[in-house]
Amino acid sequence: MIKATKGEKAFDFLNIIVLLLLGLCTLYPFMYVLTISLSTPAEAARVSLHFFPRAPTFEAYAKIVEHPMLWQAYGNTIIRTALGVVLVIIVLSMVAYPLSRRTFPHRKFITFLFVFSMLFSGGLIPSYLLIKQLYLIDTVWALVLPGAVSAFNVIILRNFFEAIPMEIIESARMDGARELTIFMRIMLPLSVPVLAVLSLWTAVGHWNAWFDALIYINDPAKQVLQLFLRRTVLENASLTPGETLLDPSHYTPETLKAATIMIVSLPILFVYPFIQRFFVKGIMLGSVKG
Amino acid sequence: MPQPAAALHDHREASTASRLWRSYKLHKSLIFMFLPGFLLFVLFHYVPLYGLLIAFKNYQLLEGVWASPWVGWEHFERLFTGPGFMDALRNTVIISLLKLVIVFPAPIVLALLLNEVRVLFFRKLIQTVSYLPHFFSWVILSGILFAFLSMDGGLNQLLKYFGFSPVSWLLYPKYFYGIVVVSDVWQSIGWGSIVYFAALSAIDPTLYDAGIVDGASRWQRIWYITVPSIMPTVIIMFLLGIGGFLSVGFDQIYNLMTPTTSNVAEILDTYVLRRLLSLDYSLGTAAGIFKSFVGLALVLIGNALVKWYDKDQGLW
């Protein structure tokens, strides 16, 4: 390695400063909300950067966990997430595996149908009318069925199956294994890593999904967590612009709102360090050309 | 000699049909495995395409798509002359151009900067932190931003700290696009950099060694080796993005908009949602078709242009 010049040293230094600033700017809003959620209303109103909680209190959390709608919404989100993941694993592998076999009839045409669906879709209103005509409004199926077989996931999983050497299938067949046995006993166990990535991907997607519930779910008892958050935090904040900001009582809900945000984000924050790696791996799977 | 040719054709037809039949029989169990999921896919991705017909009909809920009367291009005329659509289109194009110029290159710059970091631990740390916002929904992120940008929120505390007067950021239309662009960078820069960073790691290190031997400075190595090496990735990402030119981030904008900013925040997607809520299904679908066709056309044109320039690149 050639010795670094002055200019290069300055560049390295500047680079690190820029990246540090970027990291701080990314984290600060999260730290701010966390701090506010752990503060008393008076502490939250104090002029300060609120980067760390000074005297942590769970006052706001104690109040918000008493809200009955929160737990109902939590349950609904857990149900849709679990159901969505199970569906994706079963249905997706059943679609992707046959499509990975080079002799499968109409393979090219079917692949084209999948790819085309990524470029052109019916859009919001035709999809809504379909769900309505299938009588799926106000059911969890409206939230899990439409996304169960997405083109992107099919292509990723198909590519993975394709990469498994054909000899494995041939030799299994030689030993008298039927297609279903080959699929269940050989292909599925081999694809556990990629299925894990797709499941995590789907789980986070379902946990964060809100728009489908906004249009397909009218019954408040069936509402998902994200919309509970939207109603309590965003709509409250956006419905009364101006006046409330001057109102001293405005400070009280600020800590409550922050606590609600934290409670909704907690599951993701907990699993984030573990799943982050898997997600990056998933992106690499996706970048393999279809 | 038409007859023998026709006979030959018939013969070939019959043999393809029988070959197909044999193939079906051979793959019987695979087909049974395949069909449930495939039908689910067709139901939710292709049946709605049939529903697009209502843009050319006066859709009556009780009549269904097929029985509703045809009206030709009436809804499209209504779309372009009626209130709201042109404003939504203008806002969409403005936001999209802003994002194209600022949000699209941001992850490329981050990947380049990260690639120059030699301390592995520091690089991993910055990467892990920068991916974080990607894992949260825009409902959560907007909740955070509402708290952070409110009158007594973090940003204003910071301003007060340095002696500036606080601003109610989300209530003013003039700040809205700025907030949209900055928060989009916040959410997507780290995650978006993964693809470029992977492309950077794939560059043959001997190229750099050769560059060093030839006396290229670090800046020259970045400019003449690194940047050209990731150009194919940049082009692919650009083409994938250009199809969504008129999809400017519904989740983000819908959650960030307030009643006072709705005139600058109304985009095509929110326009369609409002038509759904006001039960004007045909008009909303017409707007959706317009959006989809522009997206498809942009991808096709973009891909053709790239191919015309260099036939080895592009999406297909």
Residue A46 has pLDDT above 80, yes or no: no
| Number of CB atoms found within 10 A of residue A221's CB | 10
| Least CB–CB distance from A29: residue in B36, B154, B254 | B154
| B45·A121 Cβ contact <8 A | yes
Nearest C-alpha neighbor of A260 from the set A24, A50, A69, A49: A69
| Least CB–CB distance from A123: residue in B129, B143, B272 | B272
- A179/B contact by beta carbon, under 8 A: yes
Check: CB of residue B139 under 8 Å from CB of residue B159.
no
| Least CB–CB distance from B288: residue in A8, A123, A210 | A123
- A86/B contact by beta carbon, under 8 A: no
**Residue-averaged pLDDT of chain B:** 89
What pLDDT is recorded for position A233? 82
Report d(CA B82, CA B71) in Å as an integer: 17
Max alpha carbon distance in chain B (Å)? 94
- In order of A100, A160, A162, A199, the CA distances from A166 in angstroms are 11, 12, 8, 26
Buried b (16+ CB within 10 A) or exposed e, B63-77: eebeebeebeebbbe
This model of the complex carries an ipTM of 0.87
**Residue-averaged pLDDT of chain A:** 85
| A121·B48 Cβ contact <8 A | yes
**Residues 6 or more apart whose Cβ sits within 8 Å of residue B189:** A22, B106, B107, B110, B130
Q: Exposed, middle or buried by CB within 10 Å (0-12, 13-18, 19+), for A281?
A: middle
Q: pTM for the complete prediction?
A: 0.88
| B24·A119 Cβ contact <8 A | no
| B140·A265 Cβ contact <8 A | yes
| B49·A120 Cβ contact <8 A | yes
Structure tokens at B216: 């290229």
**Where do runs of H (alpha helix) occur along B52-105?**
64-67, 74-81, 85-98
Check: CB of residue B30 under 8 Å from CB of residue A95.
no
Distance separating the N- and C-terminal Cα atoms of chain B: 41
pLDDT digits (tens, 9 = 90+) for B294-309: 999 999 999 898 888 8
Percent of chain B scoring above 70 in pLDDT: 96
C-alpha distance from B6 to closest chain A C-alpha (Å): 26
Rounded to the nearest 5 degrees, what angle is found at the Cα of B61, between the Cα atoms of B59 and B63?
80
What pLDDT is recorded for position A279? 74
Chain A residues closer than 8 Å to B292 by CB: 120-121, 123
Q: Exposed, middle or buried by CB within 10 Å (0-12, 13-18, 19+), for A1?
A: exposed
| B139·A226 Cβ contact <8 A | yes
- In order of A27, B117, B126, B250, the CA distances from A20 in angstroms are 11, 12, 7, 30
Distance separating the N- and C-terminal Cα atoms of chain A: 40
Fold for B83-278, please state it: MetI-like fold (1.10.3720)
Residue ranges with strand state E in chain B:
none
The residue in chain A having the minimum alpha-carbon distance to the alpha carbon of residue B27 is A104
pLDDT tier, B1 (very low <50, low <70, confident <90, very high otherwise):
very low
| A122·B47 Cβ contact <8 A | yes
Report d(CA B308, CA B306) in Å as an integer: 5
What pLDDT is recorded for position B64? 80
| B139·A183 Cβ contact <8 A | no
| A30·B128 Cβ contact <8 A | no
The more confidently predicted of residues B164 and A238 is B164
- In order of A284, B55, B180, B295, the CA distances from B103 in angstroms are 21, 33, 10, 19
The residue in chain B having the minimum alpha-carbon distance to the alpha carbon of residue A182 is B30
Residue A251 has pLDDT above 50, yes or no: no
pLDDT digits (tens, 9 = 90+) for B8-63: 555 566 678 888 888 888 888 899 999 999 999 999 999 999 999 999 988 887 77
Backbone CA torsion sign across B31, B32, B35, B37:
negative
C-alpha distance from B2 to closest chain A C-alpha (Å): 31
Compute φ and ψ for B173, nearest 5 degrees. -55, -35
| Number of CB atoms found within 10 A of residue B92's CB | 23
Write down the number of H helices and E strands in chain B.
Answer: 18, 0
Structure tokens at B313: 């690149």
Check: CB of residue A38 under 8 Å from CB of residue A187.
no
Taken in order of first residue, the domains within chain A and their CATH numbers are 86-191 (1.10.3720.10)
Type of residue at B54: I
pLDDT digits (tens, 9 = 90+) for A4-44: 678 778 888 999 999 999 999 999 999 999 999 998 888 88
What pLDDT is recorded for position B176? 96
- In order of A16, A28, A41, B149, the CA distances from B167 in angstroms are 31, 18, 21, 8
By residue count, chain A amounts to 290
The more confidently predicted of residues A282 and B140 is B140
